[in-house]
């Protein structure tokens, strides 16, 4: 269960929002940084996973390089504090402007994905009178045993240079006066959980290809093995930090290389996925002919992974857990106090207590924004909501969503005090342990806007707050304003502790 010291604080925030557990985040980043230093394997953070300024700047401060796949990511990496020499620019479709801007910035290396791209970089660098470092991204034809949409190392995929083009690539490099060949780059897929076999095969195949290039007169100074380490979406609390040790140790043991050759990887998802959760509130409970739906205020515009990939995310009813826990603790205190004053005969029976509660109360949903002028996650004052004249929620703006700034003000619901809201949720007939099956869905006008079908959850009702876990990677960065819905803001655990 997602941990909060004061769940009442969470209830006061407008939903949906992205919640980042900074303790988990820092622990993850520090472990990856220490292993990188211990094994002598460089690491470039894949910005496409998450670009929240607070997260990215912290990663940069720990000595990571940056793996970028667009011109704006390259610029953002520079502005976030990554050393320019540590920035690598991959991506199968770099525009001329993106290449030109990257040359002007003096980035570390272009990971070239096609012969034509290499020719364009050559021409643009020559026209500017500058040199360009390039590595060749190789398609090694390895099955990463992951979802087909995130498999990138097979011949049928659009990424990288295939074997039949190797000699032509060498001819272009040898004929260029401005291209400096640095090495080879590989990336075979994402969310790889079969770590031992997949990465062992990648190391073996990479060594063979390196040997081929060196046999043909090319000095391969660097070997970039890409990213892809998977995370535990089923049980994020049991495995909050991915097994970086296994990943680094496999590369160290399996990759044949010369002592002077540098080796690097590109962690993205593994760095940020488990620290993030999408916090959302039940708008309505709807009984269909064959299913019961929990209709949430977060939709596929916020988190598209389930709709796009059929991705699984664990869903937790925080209200059912924290309110019930609070009620249980409160009842224990009442019983203890009563016992001290009038004796054990005055203790409450659980049956009498449950009968005294109104378990079917309909209510307006709670929700209250931070007040105007209070600091949000990035330390800036909070402005007014664009939806009405009430204060908006804490907003942490990313530089590259300037056109959506106004959308980050989320309309809030008036809070109606309900001391016993959600207490002693009833056990329904035929449902063991008070659990029942729900289809958890979003409000977007698409049938694919589904968080999970047939999810077993505690008895849930309007106003309950749910957490969709492991959303720190490929969550907010892939969000949109589809249906003209607002973009969800970010809330950080550090800020929750300070208030």
Q: What is the pLDDT of residues 393-414, one digit of tens each?
A: 333 333 333 433 333 333 333 3
- Terminal C-alpha separation, the chain: 22
Which stretches of 200-261 are assigned E, i.e. beta strand?
222-224
pLDDT value of residue 367: 38
* pTM score over 0.85: no
Distance CA 60, CA 78 (A): 10
Spatial contact of 68 and 90, defined as CB atoms under 8 Å apart: yes
Averaged pLDDT score across all residues of the chain = 81
pLDDT value of residue 160: 76
pLDDT tens digits, one per residue of 251-298: 999 999 999 999 999 999 999 999 999 999 999 999 999 999 999 999
pLDDT value of residue 326: 58
pLDDT tens digits, one per residue of 256-269: 999 999 999 999 99
pLDDT tens digits, one per residue of 47-87: 999 999 999 999 999 999 999 999 999 999 999 999 999 99
pLDDT value of residue 433: 47
Nearest to 13 by CA among 282, 302, 394, 364: 394
Distance CA 482, CA 492 (A): 25
User: Residue 328: pLDDT band by 50, 70, 90 thresholds?
Assistant: low
Q: Would you say residue 479 has pLDDT above 70?
A: yes
């Amino acid at each position: 269960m997602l941990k909060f010291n004061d769940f009442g604080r969470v209830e006061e925030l407008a939903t949906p929002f992205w919640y980042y557990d900074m303790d988990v985040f820092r622990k993850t980043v520090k472990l990856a940084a220490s292993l990188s230093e211990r094994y002598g394997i460089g690491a470039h953070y894949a910005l496409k996973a998450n670009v929240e300024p607070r997260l990215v700047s912290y990663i940069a401060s720990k000595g990571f390089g940056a793996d970028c796949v667009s011109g704006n990511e390259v610029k953002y990496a520079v502005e976030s504090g990554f050393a320019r020499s540590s920035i690598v620019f991959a991506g199968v479709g770099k525009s001329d402007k993106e290449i030109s801007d990257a040359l002007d910035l003096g980035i570390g290396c272009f990971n070239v994905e096609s012969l034509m791209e290499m020719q364009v970089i050559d021409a643009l660098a020559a026209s500017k009178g500058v040199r360009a470092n390039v590595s060749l991204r190789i398609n090694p034809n390895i099955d990463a045993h992951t979802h087909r949409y995130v498999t990138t190392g097979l011949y049928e995929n659009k990424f990288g240079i295939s074997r039949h083009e190797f000699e032509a690539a060498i001819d272009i490099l040898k004929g260029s006066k401005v291209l400096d060949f640095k090495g080879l780059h590989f990336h075979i897929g994402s969310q790889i959980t079969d770590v031992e076999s997949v990465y062992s095969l990648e190391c073996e195949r990479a060594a063979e290809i390196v040997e081929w290039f060196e046999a043909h007169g090319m000095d391969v100074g660097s070997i970039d093995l890409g990213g892809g380490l998977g995370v535990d979406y089923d049980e994020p609390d049991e495995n909050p930090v991915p097994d970086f040790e296994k990943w680094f140790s496999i590369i160290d043991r399996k990759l044949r290389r010369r002592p002077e050759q540098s080796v690097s990887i590109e962690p993205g998802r593994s760095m940020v996925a488990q620290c993030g959760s999408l916090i959302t509130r039940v708008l309505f409970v709807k009984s269909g002919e064959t299913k019961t739906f929990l209709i949430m205020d977060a939709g596929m515009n916020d988190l598209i992974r389930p709709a796009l990939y059929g991705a699984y995310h664990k869903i937790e009813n925080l209200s059912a857990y924290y309110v019930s826990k609070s009620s249980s603790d409160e009842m224990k205190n009442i019983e203890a106090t009563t016992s001290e004053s009038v004796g054990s005969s005055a203790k409450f029976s659980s049956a009498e207590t449950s009968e005294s509660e109104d378990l079917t109360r309909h209510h307006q949903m709670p929700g209250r924004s931070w007040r105007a002028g209070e600091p949000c996650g990035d330390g800036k004052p909070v402005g007014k909501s664009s939806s009405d004249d009430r204060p908006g929620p804490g907003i942490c703006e990313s530089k590259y969503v300037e056109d959506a700034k106004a959308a980050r003000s989320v309309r809030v619901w008036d809070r109606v005090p309900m001391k016993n809201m959600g207490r002693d949720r009833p056990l329904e007939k035929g449902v063991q342990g008070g659990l029942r099956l729900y289809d958890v869905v979003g409000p977007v006008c698409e049938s694919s806007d589904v968080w999970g079908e047939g999810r077993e959850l505690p008895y849930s009702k309007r106003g309950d707050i749910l957490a969709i876990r492991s959303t720190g990677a490929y969550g907010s960065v892939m969000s949109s304003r589809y249906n003209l819905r607002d973009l969800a803001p970010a809330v950080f655990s550090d800020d929750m502790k300070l208030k």
